[in-house]
Amino acid sequence: MTLIVPKTVEPIVVERWVDYNDKIKVLLRGIDSKEYQIGLERARRLLNKSDSAQSLNSLTATATDETEFGIQAQLLGRYIVKGWQGDVKDSDGQTVAYTPEACISMINENVAFFSWVISQATQITIEQQGEQAETLGKSLPATDGKSNESD
């Protein structure tokens, strides 16, 4: 049996404008964004370390503790959502330009937007992997590797 070392392919950072609705477009990166994945891994390690001092008999929460949702909102706002265009306003009706902070706030307050961002970022990654596999002439890892073409 031969082991084959694959050629290293530099990851391509993919950003796509996606319609949130007929008035808003959002610039998103794929869920496999290196910065997002590193942030997620660090957050999980820090949460595990922090929680290791807890026990089921004495669970505590303080005002400074972060929820997993809040951490996800921070990571998505900084590393996945990269911009928006259109009718994005604050509670006073003023147009809001994209900033990571504004996006984090919006994600924290809008579970539907949070869910949409995760779903669309995942779809971008799936499509990118398919395009990359097609370009390299290989099947996706989730397939059996057989071609649909008849010889």
Q: What is the pLDDT of residues 11-55, one digit of tens each?
A: 667 899 999 999 999 999 999 999 999 999 999 998 888 777 777
Tell me the average pLDDT across 61-68: 81
Residue 107, C-beta contacts closer than 8 angstroms, at least 6 positions apart:
72, 73, 76, 77, 81, 113, 114, 117
Tell me the average pLDDT across 50-63: 77
Q: Is the pTM of this model over 0.85?
A: no
User: Does residue 9 register a pLDDT over 70?
Assistant: no
User: Does residue 151 register a pLDDT over 50?
Assistant: no
Q: Both tokens of residue 93?
A: 């009706």
Tell me the average pLDDT across 104-127: 96
Tell me the average pLDDT across 99-115: 97
Q: Supply the pLDDT for residue 47.
A: 82
